[in-house]
């Protein structure tokens, strides 16, 4: 079968990999769609994502959906042909966590994640024609949610987890700094959670139009305008240290910032004085627990994530797809790969 494999920095190949077979408690998926994420781009550009560096070739991709092709022994709650997505995380070990972290499995210290080089051997992702998964990772798609949108359940779950970290959003006015795929999905998730108004900011007019389509009440290009002032709740979705000073200044005294944009693991200059003088609460948000289930329900309830999809490519054009996803000049947001055609979508 074909798979999208990164061998090193700027070395992406379409390789032939062995066909998977389902063992007890496992399923094989015909993977139909995959969404390109920033970590996929980082492995392709740099041979690493954060502190996880390639030691061997890695199949990319953790935002995937498709149909069940085969069931292993003991899997009796799923059906062949059923459309599904996958929770890409698997805890390593017995799953025991401190009482203070009860239920926060996203913070478990050792997690295998689709398309990650954090462990050696690496954990291959789902950018392949077929993918083996544990049955407990599989989430059936609700009626009315096709596999194209189902592949967006994972990034929408990231956004919904960030929103949940802020508490009740009913009737609140918020700022989302950064209108890339995650920022636009945070915008949609915040409106779905009851936010009264959402202001989305970015330096790209194309990205801002997507945020507008995803529910933003107001969009602001901060290449030409300052950030709005006195915002009680801010979601920082760029992950760019240089912007943090202005974001802190835009946050109201006593306000809250939810950091959903992934910050670099290396030292970086940032102006952070307002964190202290304004007594700002700065909250981290990492991946998600089981909000992928909530994301699917939200889409079934009518939350439309399709505006974030700007480009689609076939598996043989994966490198062009990566180039498109990495190039802000082309107006890309979420770039999708068509990985197989097991059935009509």
Instruction: Classify residue 292: in a domain, yes or no.
Output: no
pTM of the model: 0.96
pLDDT of residue 345: 42
Cβ(184)–Cβ(215) below 8 Å: no
Which whole number is the average pLDDT over 71-85? 98
24 and 145 in a single domain? The answer is: yes
One domain for residues 26 and 41: yes
Instruction: Identify whether 300 is part of a domain.
Output: no
Looking at the domain assignment, is residue 31 inside a domain? yes
Q: With bands split at pLDDT 50, 70 and 90, how would you rate the model's confidence at 265?
A: confident
Name the residue range of residue 128's domain.
Answer: 2-152+305-338
105 lies in the same domain as 46: yes
Query: Are residues 263 and 326 located together in one domain of the fold?
Result: no
Give the domain CATH number at 261: 3.40.50.720
Residue 206 lies in a domain: yes
Span 223-245, average pLDDT:
97
Token pair 């890309």 is found at 332
> Is residue 141 in some structural domain?
yes
Distances, alpha carbon 65 to alpha carbons 33, 78, 128, 317, 326, in Å: 6, 15, 11, 19, 22
Whether the pLDDT of residue 212 is over 50: the answer is yes
Mean pLDDT of 48-62: 96
Q: Do 173 and 147 belong to one domain?
A: no
Query: pLDDT per residue over 10-41, tens digit each?
Result: 999 999 999 999 999 999 999 999 999 999 99
C-alpha–C-alpha distance, residues 33 and 335, integer Å: 10
Residue 166 shares a structural domain with residue 269: yes
> Which residues, listed in sequence order, are joined to residue 197 by a DSSP beta bridge?
173
Tokens standing for residue 182 = 């995650």
Q: What's the pLDDT tens digit per position in 293-328?
A: 999 999 999 999 999 999 999 999 999 999 999 998
Q: How many CA atoms lie within 13 A of 60 on its CB side?
A: 34
138 and 233 fall within a common domain = no
Exposure letters 275-306 (e unless 16+ CB within 10 A, then b): beeeebebeebebbbebbbbbbebbeeebebe
Query: What CATH number is attached to the domain comprising 134?
Result: 3.90.180.10
Residue 289 located in a structural domain: no
Instruction: Using the predicted structure, report yes or no on whether residue 343 has a pLDDT greater than 90.
Output: no
Total domains in the chain come to 2
pLDDT at 266: 84
Residue 256 within any structural domain of the chain: yes
- pLDDT band at residue 50 using 50, 70 and 90 as cut-offs: confident
What are the Cα distances from residue 159, in Å, to 135, 261, 301? 24, 10, 17
- Does 141 share its domain with 174? no
Are 19 and 140 within one domain?
yes
- Judge whether 299 lies within some domain: no
Whether pLDDT at 45 is above 50: yes
Summarize the confidence of residues 54-83 as an average pLDDT: 98
Biggest CA-to-CA distance, the chain: 59
In the predicted structure, residue 118 carries a pLDDT above the cut 80:
yes
Q: What is the mean pLDDT of the chain?
A: 96
Are residues 273 and 135 located together in one domain of the fold? no
Q: What is the percent of the chain where pLDDT is above 90? A: 96
Specify the pLDDT at position 342.
Answer: 57
pLDDT tens column, 168-177: 999 999 999 9
Residues 131 and 163 in one domain: no
Give, in degrees to the nearest 5, the angle at Cα 30 between 29 and 36: 95
Q: Are residues 122 and 201 in the same domain?
A: no
Instruction: Please give the structure tokens belonging to residue 237.
Output: 């979705």
């Amino acid at each position: 079968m074909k798979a999208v494999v990164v061998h090193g920095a700027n070395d992406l190949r379409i390789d032939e990999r062995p066909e998977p077979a389902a063992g007890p408690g496992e399923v094989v998926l015909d993977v139909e769609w995959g969404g390109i994420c920033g970590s996929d781009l980082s492995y392709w550009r740099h041979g690493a994502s954060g502190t996880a560096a390639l030691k061997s070739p890695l199949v990319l991709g953790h935002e995937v959906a498709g149909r069940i092709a085969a069931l292993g022994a003991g899997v009796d709650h799923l059906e062949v042909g059923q459309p599904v997505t996958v929770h890409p995380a698997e805890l390593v070990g017995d799953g025991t966590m401190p009482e203070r972290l009860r239920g926060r499995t996203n913070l478990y210290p050792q997690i295998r994640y689709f398309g990650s080089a954090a462990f050696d051997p690496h954990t291959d992702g789902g950018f392949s024609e077929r993918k083996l998964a544990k049955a407990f990772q599989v989430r059936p798609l609700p009626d009315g949610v096709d596999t194209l949108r189902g592949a967006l359940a994972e990034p929408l779950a990231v956004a919904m987890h960030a929103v949940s970290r802020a508490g009740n959003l009913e009737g609140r006015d918020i700022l989302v700094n950064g209108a890339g795929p995650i920022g636009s999905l945070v915008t949609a998730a915040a409106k779905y959670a009851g936010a009264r108004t959402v202001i989305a900011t970015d330096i790209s007019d194309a990205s801002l139009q997507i945020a507008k389509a995803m529910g933003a009440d107001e969009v602001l290009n901060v290449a030409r305008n300052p950030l709005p002032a006195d915002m009680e709740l801010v979601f920082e979705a760029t992950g760019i240290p240089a912007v943090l000073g202005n974001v802190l200044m835009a946050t109201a005294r006593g306000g809250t910032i939810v950091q959903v944009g992934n910050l670099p693991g290396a030292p970086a200059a940032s102006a952070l004085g307002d964190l202290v003088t304004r007594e700002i609460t700065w909250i981290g948000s990492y991946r998600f627990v089981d909000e992928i289930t909530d994301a699917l329900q939200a889409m079934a309830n009518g939350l439309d994530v399709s505006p974030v999809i700007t480009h689609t490519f076939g598996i043989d054009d994966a490198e062009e797809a990566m180039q498109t996803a990495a190039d802000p000049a082309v107006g890309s947001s979420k770039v999708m790969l068509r990985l197989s055609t097991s059935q009509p979508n």
